[in-house]
Amino acid sequence: AGATVMDITQILLAAQSPDGNLRSAAEGNIKQFQEQNLSNFLLSLSVELSNDERPPESRRLAGIILKNSLDAKDSAKKELLIQQWVSLDPSIKLQIKESLLITLGSSVGDARQTSSQVIAKIASIEIPRREWQDLIAKLLSNMTQPGASAPLKQATLEALGYVCEEIPPEHLEQNQVNAVLTAVVQGMNQTELSSEVRLAAVKALYNALDFAESNFANEMERTFIMKVICDTAVSKEVEIRQAAFECLVAIASTYYVHLDPYMQTIFNLTANAVKGDEEPVALQAVEFWSTICEEEIELQEEYEGSDDANSTVNYRFIEKALPSLVPMLLETLLKQEEDQEQDDNAWNISMSGGTCLGLIARTVGDAIVPLVMPFVEANITKPDWRCREAATFAFGSILDGPSLEKLAPLVQAGLDFLLNTMNDPNSQVKDTTAWTLGRVFELLHSPCSTNPIISNANLPRIMAVLLESSKDVPNVAEKVCGAIYFLAQGYEDAEPASSLLTPYLPNVIAALLTAADRGDMTHVRLRASAYEALNEIVRVSNIPETSSIIGQLLQEIMRRLNLTFDHQIFSSGDKEKQSDLQALLCGVLQVIIQKLSSSDAKSIIAQTADQLMLLFLRVFACHSATVHEEAMLAIGALAYATGPDFVKYMPEFFKYLEAGLQNYEEYQVCSISVGVVGDICRALEDKILPFCDGIMTVLLKDLSNSQLNRSVKPPIFSCFGDIALAIGENFEKYLPYAMPMLQGAAELLVVLDQNDEDMVDYGNQLRRGIFEAYSGILQGIKGAKAQLMIPYAGHLLQFTEAVYKDRSRSMSFLLPFFFVTLLHG
């Protein structure tokens, strides 16, 4: 291998050359070497990486190729790489691993770090297979050997951390875990002079926490680990303090039950960090309390009304800490950054403090209100904008959790104030006020309650303010659109109360369309928010009194969709912008079609159906690569609205439907297309017959395709039922194909893992899909043809019995209906 190792340096350097020809020749050479002799190739790479004489550029690329030869994002490819590694000659694997372990002591930082990552990738393949069992011992000896250099210790701790990140806890023996924790804790010791080593140790501890279950169960070990972390949380290096708090956050969720004795110490640490430490540390200190809230909210939800003896104890840490915790968080609200509302990705201490207050409100309910309201009242009128914004943010943050009785009087007293504040000179105050109004409408506005927040008395003022503020700067206008959305949503199940909105409809629609135009290219979030609010306004509008207004809106949205076809497309970015806008507009059209078709206003749809269908087909034609989801959904609504008349569009539409049904990569598109087949079946009934061969062929192909996401399979079974209901006894010719598929799926139900929540969920969807398929087929094939079903009767009864016995009983309510169908058949 001597010569090979020599040559690879030059090839690796050439592969990074600015000269394209040199580069592609070198890449070809690398590929050839890899394909002809993988074991020698990987060995040469590891030798290159370990050799301090070689240039850093070639070593870096050697490390990258080595890592990519062991792991891939795509699971099928990863499986292949694992098999390739497993089948290599063991003596060569040993050489590669030794070479990597040597590299941990390299004088070049880049090489050390890469080798620690590659070691973890190999460990993730080998340790679960009970191989490389001496790895942990070898790494630990680097920590304990006399005179080990700081860089070697740092790289070793990084390797330990990566190994813990890559492998599941059950694959390390307890004595190995103990040894890892010992080494890590030694690395964190203040007597360790190198801060790089201490930082690597804290980060490794973070990754090792999942392995430490039995150590945390032992009081002495637990107290020792907690003491080390708490000591490290006051180190002089900011990065180390931050990493120690990250460990505390992880412990809050993993080991909540063990925290009680340490909470006073942790409270003091977090309070000091929040008051005076640098922002990255303070953020983690707040995150600790947010995590405790999440744990306690989950405990409350789990044990609502049950006196379960083996339930996790809820220590009510938040309730106990409230008097000191809330004031500490309220102070953070005053530390806003200038212009943070302009940046969608901003995250700082004031935002995290508000988020934590919101979680506390959900944890303790009414108890938070008296602790926050004095702060709100004291700051809401101060001249400094920071005080006004913090007061509004505090108020908006505590609206979810406390009872309506507790909040309603405060909101009724404060609503007028909030509306006035929409004229505040400061944009950030207006942004937060609009957000708070949205929260008030979302959480507390219910028109049918005895003392509703919004009434005939204050609606004119609310509307006037929202319409005026929808013209404000884009980030404020976006929040205002959100408030309009929630205001409308309150009327969803409150017919005829939504008549209250009718007088405002033309102005609200006009304002939202203007806002959408303003957000066109620069503020896409404003545009999306405006169209979502528009959809909600249409959904709750009261027909027939608004049908002519909605009819005009239909024309306007069609006009806008038509304009998108004239967009200049110069790049994939332009294409994406066009597609996003088409998605929003098709979404509005879908809502309008659904609204008008559910009422006496159907005629409006009948008159525009041809134009609508033409627009949707043009949207499809714009996007050759993928079927447009929103256009597909809108067509489903149109089919439902036009009924049997929809058949005239089928010849033109069918190729797009077929493409959607065959889109395995973007399974949502496939799933939506399957749903649209159901809509069309219900609309066309037996007029769908000429297209059924094509549809059934694709659906059966979908079911046998292992690449297709499993969530699409239950809807496909339901779709069989829709088709059988539509074409009746003509379904006969598909029975030999469809029934075995259904039987196979029913058999799969028996072996699903009942302990895996996702699997139980999937099982329920599958059961419902099979159920809908069988009942559709039984109702479709009846009368003279019923004897066709006799060969399958045994399976049907077996399935029925399985559903009846099913523990989760999510389906048992359908059984009587199913038996009736069976008997009639």
Per-residue model confidence as pLDDT tens digits over 719-731: 999 999 999 999 9
Residue 413 CA to residue 134 CA, distance in Å, equals 69
Express as a percent the part of the chain with pLDDT over 70: 95
Task: Supply the pLDDT for residue 308.
Answer: 58
Q: What is the DSSP letter of 490?
A: T
- What pLDDT, in 10s, does the model give residues 147-164? 889 999 999 999 999 999
Q: Rg (Cα) of the chain, in Å, rounded?
A: 32
Compute, in degrees rounded to 10, the torsion defined by CA atoms 435, 440, 442, 445: -150
What tokens were used for 303? 């044990």
- Checking if the pLDDT of 494 tops 90, the result is no
Assign domain 218-305+313-335+347-402 one CATH number from 3.40.605.10, 1.25.10.10, 3.75.10.20, 3.40.50.300: 1.25.10.10
> Shortest CA distance to 751 belongs to which of 698, 702, 802?
802
- What pLDDT, in 10s, does the model give residues 84-138? 999 999 999 999 999 999 999 999 999 999 999 999 999 999 999 999 999 999 9
> Shortest CA distance to 777 belongs to which of 703, 636, 706, 681?
681
Quick one: pLDDT band at residue 818, thresholds 50, 70, 90?
low
Task: Supply the pLDDT for residue 441.
Answer: 96
- Checking if the pLDDT of 1 tops 50, the result is no
Bond preceding residue 714 cis, omega within 30 of 0: no
- What pLDDT, in 10s, does the model give residues 184-239? 999 998 777 899 999 999 999 999 999 999 999 999 999 999 999 999 999 999 99
Task: Share the mean pLDDT of the chain.
Answer: 90
CA 257 vs. chain centroid, Å, equals 28
Residue 739 CA to residue 729 CA, distance in Å, equals 15
Residue 587 CA to residue 629 CA, distance in Å, equals 10
Task: Supply the pLDDT for residue 266.
Answer: 97
Task: Supply the pLDDT for residue 133.
Answer: 92
Mean per-residue pLDDT, 314-322: 95
Q: Tell me which of 289-303, 505-519, 794-808 is least confident.
A: 794-808
Segment (H or E) for 743: helix 735-751
DSSP letter for each residue of 374-427? HHHHHHTT-SSHHHHHHHHHHHHHTSSSS-HHHHHHHHHHHHHHHHHHTT-S-H
Express as a percent the part of the chain with pLDDT over 90: 70
Long-range contacts of 412-420 (CB under 8 A, 24+ apart): 412/451, 412/453, 415/440, 415/453, 415/458, 415/462, 416/458, 416/461, 417/380, 418/392, 419/461, 419/462, 419/465
Residue 49 CA to residue 55 CA, distance in Å, equals 10
- What pLDDT, in 10s, does the model give residues 753-797? 777 788 888 988 998 999 899 989 988 888 778 788 888 888 887
Task: Supply the pLDDT for residue 235.
Answer: 95
Bond preceding residue 544 cis, omega within 30 of 0: yes
- What pLDDT, in 10s, does the model give residues 269-280? 999 999 999 999
- Checking if the pLDDT of 5 tops 70, the result is no
- Checking if the pLDDT of 305 tops 80, the result is no
Q: Residue 707 contacts by C-beta under 8 Å, 6 or more apart in sequence?
A: 664
What SS3 class is residue 708? coil
Quick one: pLDDT band at residue 360, thresholds 50, 70, 90?
very high
- What pLDDT, in 10s, does the model give residues 389-428? 999 999 999 999 999 999 999 999 999 999 999 999 999 9
SS (H, E, C) 155-192: HHHHHHHHHHHHCCHHHCCHHHHHHHHHHHHHHHCCCC
CA atoms within 13 A on the CB side of 45: 26
